[in-house]
Structure 1
Amino acid sequence: MCNKFDGTVKNELTMPENDHYKILSLDGGGSWAIIQLLTLYDRYGNIKGRELLRNFDLVIANSGGSIVLAALAEDYSLEEAIDLFKVKENRERIFHKNSFRDRFFPTDYLRVFGLGFGPKYSSKKKKEAFEGLFPKVNALQMEELPGAIGKESLKIVVCTYDALNNRAKFFKSYSKSDSVRLTQAINGSSNAPVQYFDFPARFKAKKSEVFYELWDGALGGFNNPVLAGIIEAYKLGIPMDSLRVVSLGTSNKLMSIDEKNQFWKWKQIATKYRRKKLVFKKLKPQFKFFMATVLNQAKTILYQPPDTANYI
């Protein structure tokens, strides 16, 4: 949740006055983005998505939050949007597990031997799922969405990460350079690497004709995109004292004492036996330390990466 920024930005779910500039920020978090929808349902009831979006002036989203945004833009009711994450069939369409045949080396064999390392979901199948689940928004470019939603002044921003240039990339409904469909943007935004999806999401922007290869926007530090939303409002010339922000996230649980102790033991063994290559019985805990370290970093995509947005 968002606290005050410069003493002026407030986090409130009440309907703000007309002279306030209202920002809705939706965090990443995979299927746990259902929490955002449950929060909106608790405040607004079973409202239709486009009616809800018309209450805001700027909506910015990342990863799981971008899927929520697409459901709202498609004009799902909140109950229908909740079912995207609640119903197993819908989850499995979006998070489609690759078979051995569809995995690339070495993750194909690592998973065969039960090592559980490497991407397990298909970014291509995710793209197809979005096109099927959101046919209305898939037929429109992002700059056409505000008109379809019924509020021409609405600004929409989706956070992604440019895998080729190693920097954050934002797709906007008011961009003068790129023109993409929301389904393309959210496929990039929800494309968590390493342990989750297999390949960067690839597509060609209509105006610029640039081919993009995209990962989840969390890699750029925007799992919580509220700071980017405030900066966008500032760039648009909106007075800072008029901003009102609703920032919805998913958070994560802290590591238990037992888990911390186990990690410490693996680390101690790895430190002590790293030069004793023939002590085979100590290879397994060293491998577990390696796996835990890599997976903890990979899971920051779902949780709270060290971004400044969390300190506003």
Structure 2
Amino acid sequence: RDGRLYGRGATDMKAFDALAIWALVEARHRGVTRPLQLAFSYDEEIGCEGAIDLVAAMQGVVPKASAVIVGEPTMLKPVTGHKGGISFDVHVHGVEVHSSILETGVSAIMWGAKLIDWCNDVNAENAAAAPGPVAALFTPPYTNVHVGQIRGGTAQNITAKDCCFPLGFRVVPGEDPDYWRGRLMDKVAELNAQMQAVRPEAWIEVKAAFHLPPFAPTEDNRAEEMVRQITGDNAKRHVSYGTEASHFQNGGYDVVVCGPGDIGIAHQPDEYIEVSQLEAGQAFMEKLLERLA
């Protein structure tokens, strides 16, 4: 409709998958002399953990690719770096009492809100600081922390026994994720002491959920060189979202992120891919096949 193809995941990233499958079929008729491999993973959205198993499984089984293109939506512009990520599952253990005497209990939700408010403080602190040369490459130009879900409580008139939420940092390359983990745990220790002054059995539990390494620019990157030659785009470009590129990079591959579509449309109601982006993606694949022939 109106030059768009609608569907969940159309931009992120079924459009690239469709183009890659088309290219593989076309390769049979193009005299391709170099291997073209398609690598499909699972569990990509949160932590890209399926790629860890995939990269390991490929070692010694298929010829090692000289270049990897991760087809996340970049409007078909090469991306050579992205932030890393660390995420935690937070469980605030409160103590239920009637809300008319809430000072004798511990509301897990209200104390969880204190930790979430600390996240806002961290973001404001980082936003106010002058960005370093690496951070300046990103939008926003700093490490940020986010809480995207929250659940808890039993009833309106009972202090919440439980409050659970994921808490995640998007870390600028070069910064130590352990520093941010330490900042979080210091705040948790502070809140635990305050909660336990009211009720000793109250506490905040934090479990590591995932760690996605950053994707860092490298010298003599054959994937980057190839995609720049195909697109004619030589701009330096970095993104704040995470991809499987870092896992392939850590597996010893030359990697670039480049795919059709706009990341701003991903995860939205009525997600779509512009037909013009699919057509541009097909032209991209045509040029790739020419290089492999």
TM-score range, shorter chain: under 0.3
The structure with the largest helix share of the pair is 1
With the length of structure 1 as denominator, give the TM-score of the two structures.
Answer: 0.20
Q: Which structure would you say has the larger RCO, counting Cα contacts within 8 Å and 6 or more residues apart?
A: 2
Question: Which one has a bigger Cα radius of gyration?
Answer: 2
